Structure 1
Amino acid sequence: MLRAKYARRLPRSLMELAGPVHGRVELPLHVAWSGLRAYDLDRPRKRMGLYRTVLAEGQRDDLVAFLDRELLIALWPDLRTLISRHIRAVWEGAFPELVHRASSPA
């Protein structure tokens, strides 16, 4: 059931992910409804926090607006250990390039 919920939100392609890669980003309340809403993408821990939050709470439009394809692929080996197994399974099932990146040596 959770996997279906996350699968409905997926972009059709990682190429759709055109979010910012630098600077300050403020997430809308429907994504960051509790806690931190503003993230500095130039700070690695904040960037990882934004990606975790958007993957867990964002809708399709949020994923496209706030995630960047290249950054997601680069972060994936670490990010995949911080997100739920349901989110990880859905994203890796839909986008094999994430699995390849996760299994490649850094």
Structure 2
Amino acid sequence: MDSRPRYASHRVYLVPADLGELTGPAAGVVELPTRLDWSEQHIYDLSNQSHVVLMYERVIREASHLDDLRTYLNQETLVRIWPRLYLPVNARQAWETIFPELRRAA
């Protein structure tokens, strides 16, 4: 078994100061820029919950500017789907430390 530390365990994940900053779309179709999603599926239909979950996971993992979070994430949607997100431990801890309501939602 490989005991080397993984990238995700050392990466610093961005977290907004207030969930109210997350004013991204809650409906429609979203196309993520390549810096956030370089996969073939970079267009997300927000009426499809599996698309929403996947998009939020990618944005939280890959955001390099707070504006990425503000532009693509929506506060109400994030709180609703938080328990379903598969995130690196450090990312989840960073968000739940600042926003205990997410920890309670999970």
TM-score range, shorter chain: 0.7 to 0.9
Alpha-carbon displacement from aligned partner over 1:36-68 (angstroms, at most 9, x marks no partner): 211001001111110010011013111110000
TM-score relative to the length of structure 1:
0.85
Aligned equivalents of 1:2, 1:47: Cα separation in 2: 26
Identity of aligned residues (%): 39
Instruction: State the structure with more CA Rg.
Output: 2
Matched, 1:101 2:105: yes
Unaligned runs of 5+ in 1: none
| Cα shift at 1:33 | 2.2
Partner-residue secondary structure (3-state), 1:73:
helix
Superposition misfits of 4+ residues, deviation over 6 angstroms: none
TM-score relative to the length of structure 2:
0.85
Aligned equivalents of 1:63, 1:40: Cα separation in 2: 18
Matched, 1:39 2:44: yes
Unaligned runs of 5+ in 2: 1-8
Aligned equivalents of 2:61, 2:40: Cα separation in 1: 14
Alignment RMSD, CA only?
Answer: 1.3
> Residue 100 of structure 2 aligns to which amino acid in structure 1?
P
